[in-house]
Amino acid sequence: MNPENIEIVLVHTTHSGNIGGVARAMKNMGLTRLTLVAPLEYPAPEANWRAASAADVLETARVVSTLDEAIAECQFVVGTSARDRRIPWPLQDARGCAERVAARSVQERVAILFGREDRGLLNEELQRCNLHCHIPTHEGYSSLNLAMAVQIVAYELRMLALSDKTGLAEDVDWDTPFSTSADMARFYAHLEETLVEIGFLNPEAPRQLMPRLNRLFNRVRLDEMELNILRGILTETQKASRRSK
Ligand code: SAH
CA of 160 to the centre of ligand 1 (A): 23
- Four-residue CA torsion sign, 70, 63, 152, 103: positive
Q: Give per-residue pLDDT as tens, 105-129.
A: 999 999 999 999 999 999 999 999 9
Best probe residue, ligand 1, of 132, 146, 151, 153 (max atoms within 8 Å of C-beta): 146
Contact 146, 21 (CB under 8 A): yes
Is the CB of residue 83 below 6 angstroms from any atom belonging to ligand 1?
Answer: yes
Would you give the end-to-end CA distance of the chain in angstroms? 53
Instruction: Pick the residue whose CA is nearest to atom 6 on ligand 1.
Output: 120
pLDDT of residue 87: 86
pLDDT confidence of residue 170: 63
Q: What is the pLDDT of residue 111?
A: 98
- For ligand 1, what atom is nearest to the CA of residue 11? 13
Q: Calculate how far, in angstroms, residue 89's C-alpha sits from the geometric centre of ligand 1.
A: 16
Strand 6-11 relative to strand 110-114, pairing = parallel
Residues of the chain with pLDDT under 70: 165-172
pLDDT at 80: 98
How many whole angstroms from 101 Cα to the centroid of ligand 1? 18
pLDDT at 173: 76
The response to whether residue 122 sits with its C-beta less than 6 Å from ligand 1 reads: no
Going along the chain from its start, the domains and CATH numbers come out as 3-163 (3.40.1280.10), 181-244 (1.10.8.590)
Q: Please give the pLDDT value at position 191.
A: 98
Outline where the chain has alpha helix (H).
16-28, 45-51, 55-59, 67-71, 94-105, 123-126, 146-163, 181-197, 209-220, 224-244
Using DSSP's 3-state secondary structure scheme, residue 180 falls into coil
